[in-house]
């Protein structure tokens, strides 16, 4: 059996992003609820052929990067240089120290949406050539400022990611003159004698440079989104438990890394699901000790914040708690009030229901509690 090549993606996010305006470098601006760097990471990390994704960022941007990549296993970012070529080289050198790769995809964070089909074409072409880059056919007429009209058929618009044999592109960067500016990595590859193939790019890979690009880049938002969440927790020794943000005296507690509020966990997952943002474990990994014993209110507030950043308000929510005990009816109003308070909603937008499984299953045997939640998000802004 032929071994699959080890492919590592290197996202270059070390620029200042001044031309896009605003208070943040453009790579940390929000589109559809996520920073550009997060969109780029998700597109590449979710592709089955890519073994790892590394980042190069500018010195001093570590807090911005950490906030933008919260909940993602993006690793420690590499600090870049004054010019893009330096940043790429620093990234390649680090990848070599960490075990190298067979193929590297070098990508600009300013192109947040990376179609999987383009990655497939790049991987296939780079296996047969020294490198491969995605291009789009030029559709506008072109004119040379001095010599007049030129044939647009002879030109193409270059995009990223660009794929290269790792050892060859690292050697090419090491040989590149330090006082010479490179337009992209393909120029550096060709200067070193590498064969660079052209593959079909995609309009989705448009580079976001100016403020108006951000309004054009995001897909038209869906006016209403619905999410479903489900969670279970087993009983453990204790004298109280948390349900719906309310502390309830009980002869047992619920086992979990946080406070194990099964109702708030299901509701958090419902909001994340409506946004397409994964689940609670991807944002607050159980392996991270900082969440040990944490109040589940923090998780719910985080999900609600993501909804707001994406332009959505919570329209209404419905939570069903499944257990034999404790009795939910006497605490229903307190739970509705607490959830409404956390999410800044009116109580008539919050529904809490309870049921049993007629003594069937683990909840019927009083081994734990389950909860289901449905949430509707409504678009606030176009």
Write the pLDDT tens digit of every residue in 330-371: 999 999 999 999 999 999 999 999 999 999 999 999 999 999
287 and 201 belong to one structural domain: no
What digits encode the pLDDT tens for the residues 39-98?
A: 999 999 999 999 999 999 999 999 999 999 988 888 899 999 989 999 999 999 999 999
The SS3 assignment for 184 reads: coil
Q: Is the predicted pLDDT of residue 219 greater than 60, yes or no?
A: no
In a domain, 33, yes or no: yes
Residue 290 lies inside a defined structural domain of this protein = yes
Domain of 316: which CATH number?
3.30.1330.50
Give the residue from 335, 371, 336, 172 showing the smallest Cα distance to 262. Answer: 371
Block residue for tokens 């509701």: 267
Domain count, the chain: 2
Do 284 and 340 have their domain in common?
A: yes
Instruction: Pick the last residue of a domain from 217, 243, 264.
Output: 217
Mean pLDDT along residues 262-281: 93
Whether residues 97 and 23 share a domain: the answer is: yes
For residue 78, the enclosing domain spans: 7-217
The tokens describing 296, both together, are: 């589940």
Taking the alpha carbons at both ends of the chain, their separation in whole angstroms is 52
If asked whether residues 236 and 296 sit together in one domain, one would say yes
The confidence score (pLDDT) of residue 153 equals 81
Q: What is the pLDDT of residues 282-313, one digit of tens each?
A: 888 887 788 888 999 999 999 999 998 888 99
Inside any domain, residue 2: no
In a domain, 1, yes or no: no
Chain mean position to CA 318: 27
The reply to whether 296 and 359 lie within a common domain is yes
Domain presence at residue 139: yes
**Are residues 133 and 96 part of one domain?**
yes
- Choosing from 217, 233, 258, the residue where a domain stops is 217
Domain boundary among 192, 217, 242: 217
pTM: 0.61
DSSP label at 29? -
Same domain, 124 and 107: yes
For 262, the 3-state DSSP assignment is helix
């Amino acid at each position: 059996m032929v071994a699959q090549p080890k492919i590592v993606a290197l996202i270059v996010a070390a620029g200042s992003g001044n031309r896009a305006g605003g208070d943040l470098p453009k790579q940390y601006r929000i589109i559809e609820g996520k920073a550009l760097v997060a969109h780029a990471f998700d597109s590449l990390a979710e592709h089955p052929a890519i073994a790892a994704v590394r980042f190069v960022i500018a010195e001093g941007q570590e807090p911005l990067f950490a906030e933008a990549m919260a909940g993602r296993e993006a690793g420690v970012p590499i600090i870049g240089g004054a010019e893009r070529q330096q940043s790429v080289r620093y990234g390649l050198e680090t990848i070599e120290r960490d075990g190298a790769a067979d193929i590297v995809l070098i990508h600009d964070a300013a192109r947040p949406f990376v179609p999987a089909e383009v990655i497939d074409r790049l991987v296939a072409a780079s296996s047969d050539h020294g490198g491969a880059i995605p291009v789009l056919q030029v559709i506008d007429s072109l004119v040379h400022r001095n010599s007049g009209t030129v044939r647009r058929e002879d030109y193409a618009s270059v995009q990223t990611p660009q794929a290269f044999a790792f050892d060859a592109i690292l050697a090419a960067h090491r040989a590149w003159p330090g006082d010479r500016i490179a337009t992209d990595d393909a120029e550096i590859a060709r200067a070193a004698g590498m064969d660079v193939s052209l593959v079909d790019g995609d309009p989705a890979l448009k580079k976001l440079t100016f403020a108006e690009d951000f309004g054009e880049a995001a897909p038209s938002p869906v006016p209403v989104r619905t999410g479903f969440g489900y969670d279970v927790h087993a009983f453990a020794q204790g004298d109280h438990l948390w349900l719906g943000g309310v502390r309830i005296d009980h002869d047992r507690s619920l086992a979990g890394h946080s406070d194990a509020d099964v109702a708030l966990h299901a509701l958090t997952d419902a909001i994340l699901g409506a946004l397409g943002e994964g689940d609670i474990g991807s944002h607050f990994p159980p392996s991270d000790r900082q969440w040990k014993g944490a109040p589940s209110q923090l998780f719910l507030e985080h999900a609600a914040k993501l909804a707001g950043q994406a332009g959505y308000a919570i329209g209404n929510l419905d939570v069903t708690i499944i257990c034999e005990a404790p009795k939910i009816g006497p605490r229903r109003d307190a739970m509705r009030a607490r959830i409404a308070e956390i999410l800044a909603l009116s109580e008539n937008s919050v529904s809490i229901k309870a049921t049993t499984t007629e003594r069937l299953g683990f909840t019927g045997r009083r081994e734990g509690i389950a909860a289901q939640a449905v949430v509707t998000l409504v678009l606030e802004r176009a």
